[in-house]
Structure 1
Amino acid sequence: RNRISRWRDPVAAVRGAQAAGSFYDLADPLHGAGSPADAMMLADFSTYLPDDLLCKVDRTSMAVSLEARAPLLDWRVAEFAWSLPMAMKQRDGVSKYLLKRVLGRYVPQDMVHRPKRGFGAPVSAWLKGDLRGWADELLDPARLAEEGVFNVEAVAPLWQQFKQGERKWHTHLWNVLMFQAWQAHWRKARADVTRA
């Protein structure tokens, strides 16, 4: 489960939760995905790519009036890539093997084999800085207990350990904070409508 969730045991974090199925549970029906590696790539291609990465690219580029393009996602390139045998996609621990071989003809090798660098938001710095008070309020154990969605015993220790610099739980906590903020917004909106 922790392959698809930041939480080692996501059911423990949410009161009354039951484990949900995942793409890994559905490997066979994934359009004949074949091997587990193919099923994982299809899961990423069908969910993480459009629902996360491309959304972020679109939002950040459009924020500065830039229309971004992803030429490697052209349907002909994608269809060709899917048709390749696994040995051409990954070999000897090298991912994107064929792409890197071709690219190596045109650019320096150190550029071809440079490690990935993400575009992650500085959530840890935010939670240690300007957003700490906001997070303290939303992750207050009494509030979590009263609202009854999250298991206080699972969430509160992570926040304490993070604040004390013991562990880097910011990615786990951010998901909880987003839910808490969403819930607070809609509870306030409902209360405003009721009063009106």
Structure 2
Amino acid sequence: MPEPRAFWLDEQFDREHGSDGRGRYEAEVLRRIGEFDETWGDFAPVAFAATAWRLATELSPGFVRWHRRIISATCARSPWDGSMICAVTVASRWPAELTWTKQWQRDRGWRDWPQLFGQFTTPTEQDQTRSPHLRALLQVEAPLPLDDLPPTPTGPDDDVTTAARRAVVVLTRELNELLAPMIGQLDTEVPADS
């Protein structure tokens, strides 16, 4: 069985729903060019790439798409050393310690993640009045390599859209490589061999 994708770019939707010969993401970068102001000319590409990532994920639907288990994904400059770090929240099943026995539930009807058309969702207000819910989350915090990130543009007159797109492509690839094996294991719902 092939490993699922954790992250990918929705290039087709971006092109089909763009305007003036530009994709949606390129137009968004140009519309919000001021959000890059503090990154111009920085010798490290981290702050520029983090801003490019944020704009790509804030589009609705996002230019960057992710697996149904991924609740959120941010990329930021580390305050410790200026490197690129990610924080990704992943929906998970209950830990084995809670599935070993149901004794702790005490017949209260505990519910796991509700799903709607395969998507993990928040319990509705009505659901919350009927039974308790325990939704397990995994918080991934990890460094990402900087090797392939494009240099930071020197200003808004540079080719900012190409650099932003390249940064998002690199971050998407690195996040997918980091998290796809974990997502695949979670989807099997079978504990890994010891």
Per the normalisation by structure 2, the TM-score is 0.25
Higher relative contact order (CA 8 A, sep 6+): 2
- In terms of fraction of residues, the more helix-rich structure is 1
Q: Which has the higher Rg, Structure 1 or Structure 2?
A: 1
